[in-house]
């Protein structure tokens, strides 16, 4: 009787912990996708404003400084309500930097609108497909952490080299690298949320937003070259 009663209590406690973990994971996942949707919409609004106002291309140093500065601020404030404002500041800034780039493709290519829309559609399909795969299979992609970290650093340095030394071939290779790395990052981050490796929805949102942003710009670059 004692063993049965004790065993029943252990099982009940274990089930309770499991339910609490599942609820916490679902809450992080739900908050992440809600915030990601809002930040993408806000980023699109700031990009549209930059396009309509004819904003010029920003210096690479301004873009990098703004991005890393706001990323540091968001990371520092991730556990407070101010972190939400930091997220919108970061994504709004990145959207604004995208406006002049979109204007360039729209005017430089004869089928510019088609190229931009194809890049947007392709990005959406890739993100939704990879997210759905990670959510339905519930595979653990944590093994990709080291590869992604190293790959992103290498691709970033290669992108700087291609920019400063004007190397079109390397630039194309970097775009392909970023498409593959950002696809892997989407799988990895979604898996981290599912398996409890990421419990902060603000940081999860930032990671997924950066993946989508780089995926879109890389795909846009490749499509632009293929069409001209």
- The count of residues in the chain is 228
Extents of the domains making up the chain: 2-227
Q: What is the pLDDT of residue 5?
A: 45
pTM for the model stands at: 0.91
For residues 65 and 99, the answer to whether their CB atoms sit within 8 Å is no
d(CA 213, CA 98) in angstroms, rounded, equals 9
Q: Measuring CA to CA, which residue among 129, 107, 121 is closest to residue 186?
A: 129
- Please write the tens of the pLDDT for every residue from 147-166: 999 999 999 999 999 999 99
Average pLDDT over residues 136-148: 95
Q: Measuring CA to CA, which residue among 176, 158, 163 is closest to residue 59?
A: 163
Q: What is the pLDDT of residue 227?
A: 82
* Residue 17: count of CB within 10 angstroms of its CB: 10
Q: What is the pLDDT of residue 21?
A: 74
Q: What is the pLDDT of residue 15?
A: 64
- pLDDT of residue 18 exceeding 80: no
Average pLDDT over residues 60-78: 96
Enclosing H/E stretch for 196: none
CA dihedral 37, 156, 69, 127 (to 10 degrees): 10
Q: What is the pLDDT of residue 110?
A: 87
CA end-to-end distance (rounded Å), the chain = 80
For residues 189 and 208, the answer to whether their CB atoms sit within 8 Å is yes
For residues 50 and 99, the answer to whether their CB atoms sit within 8 Å is yes
Share of the chain above pLDDT 90, in %: 85
State both tokens at 119. 């890049």
* Residue 176: count of CB within 10 angstroms of its CB: 14
- Average pLDDT, rounded, for the chain: 91
Enclosing H/E stretch for 62: helix 60-76
What are the angstrom distances between the C-alpha of 87 and each of 10, 50, 210? 42, 19, 11
């Amino acid at each position: 009787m004692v063993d049965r009663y004790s065993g029943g209590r252990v099982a009940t406690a274990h089930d309770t912990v499991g339910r609490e973990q599942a609820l916490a994971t679902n809450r992080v996942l739900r908050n992440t996708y809600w915030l990601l949707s809002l930040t993408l919409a806000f980023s699109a609004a700031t990009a549209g404003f930059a396009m309509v106002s004819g904003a010029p291309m920003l210096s690479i140093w301004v873009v990098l400084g703004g991005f890393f500065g706001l990323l540091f601020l968001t990371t520092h404030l991730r556990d407070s309500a101010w972190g939400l404002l930091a997220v919108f500041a970061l994504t709004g800034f990145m959207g604004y930097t995208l406006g002049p780039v979109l204007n360039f493709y729209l005017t430089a290519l004869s089928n510019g609108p088609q190229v931009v829309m194809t890049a947007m559609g392709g990005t959406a399909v890739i993100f939704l497909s990879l997210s759905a795969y990670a959510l339905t299979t519930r595979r653990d992609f944590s093994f990709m952490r080291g590869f992604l970290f190293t790959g992103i650093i290498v691709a970033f340095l290669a992108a700087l080299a291609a920019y400063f030394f004007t190397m079109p071939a390397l630039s194309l290779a970097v775009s392909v690298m970023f498409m593959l790395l950002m696809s892997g990052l989407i799988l990895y981050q979604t898996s981290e949320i599912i398996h409890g490796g990421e419990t902060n929805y603000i940081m999860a949102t930032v990671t997924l937003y950066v993946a989508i942003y780089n995926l879109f710009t890389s795909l846009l670059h490749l499509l632009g070259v293929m069409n001209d």
